[in-house]
Chains A and B, each alone.
Chain A
Amino acid sequence: DAMVIQNPRYQVTQFGKPVTLSCSQTLNHNVMYWYQQKSSQAPKLLFHYYDKDFNNEADTPDNFQSRRPNTSFCFLDIRSPGLGDAAMYLCATSREGGYTFGSGTRLTVV
C-alpha cells in the first residue's frame, strides 16, 4: 500500500543532543510537510517542500532544520533539543483531496 512512513515511532534524546527524524513516502507526491503537535494543541506547520523548494514558516525556531534529498525522503533535524521540543512530529504528503499523514514520531527530551 502506498503510504507515509515515519521512523522511529518513539525517540528519546538528551537535552542538547542533535536528533534526526525521518519520513519516507511511496505516493510520489511533490509536497511534503512537517508538523509539530503538542499535547492538546493544534498541529503546527514547521516547514514544507514543493519538490526541492523549501518553505520555512516564519515562527519556526532556527533549531529546526530539514533536508529532502529526493522525492521519497524527508528529514527533520533538531540541532539542540530543549524540553519544550518534546512533541509528536508529523510528516505528511499532499495532493488535491487531502493530506496523507504518517503515524508520527513521539519525541521525548530528557
Chain B
Amino acid sequence: QKEVEQDPGPLSVPEGAIVSLNCTYSNSAFQYFMWYRQYSRKGPELLMYTYSSGNKEDGRFTAQVDKSSKYISLFIRDSQPSDSATYLCAMSLTGTASKLTFGTGTRLQVTL
C-alpha cells in the first residue's frame, strides 16, 4: 500500500463548477498537509498548507484535513480555465520545510 493515495482522475469540469480533490494516507504520524499545483512543463507551486486537522480557506480554495479518517480534500469553487493543472497533495511529519511524501496527482481540466 502506498503511503499516500490520490484519486488519479483526470477530471474535466465546466467553468464555474465546484471541484473536489482528495487524498488518503496510511501514516498517522503525518502532521502537515499541503496542496501543490503543477502546470504543464512547470515545477509544482504551493497552494495551501494545513497543520493537523481542520479547514483552511484562501479565496476560492478550501483545504480540509480529517486526521481521524486519514483523509484530506481540496475544494475549488467557481472553477476557472486557469485552474487547469495537476494538483498534488503532499504530507510531512515535521513541517512544511521537511521531507514531503506526495500523491500521484490529479489532472484537472476546466472547460469553457
Residues of A whose CB lies within 8 Å of any CB of B are 4, 6, 9, 31, 33, 40-43, 45, 48, 90, 92, 94-104, 106
Determine whether the beta carbon of B105 is less than 8 Å from that of A48: no
Residues of B whose CB lies within 8 Å of any CB of A are 4, 6, 8, 34, 36, 41-46, 49, 88, 95-105
Determine whether the beta carbon of A97 is less than 8 Å from that of B96: yes
Determine whether the beta carbon of B45 is less than 8 Å from that of A42: no
Q: Is the interface of A mostly helix, strand, loop or mixed?
A: strand
Q: How far is the CA of A95 from the CA of B97 in the complex (A)?
A: 5
Determine whether the beta carbon of A98 is less than 8 Å from that of B102: no
Q: How far is the CA of A33 from the CA of B95 in the complex (A)?
A: 15
Determine whether the beta carbon of A41 is less than 8 Å from that of B104: yes
Q: Min CB distance, A45 to chain B, in Å?
A: 6
Determine whether the beta carbon of B97 is less than 8 Å from that of A42: no
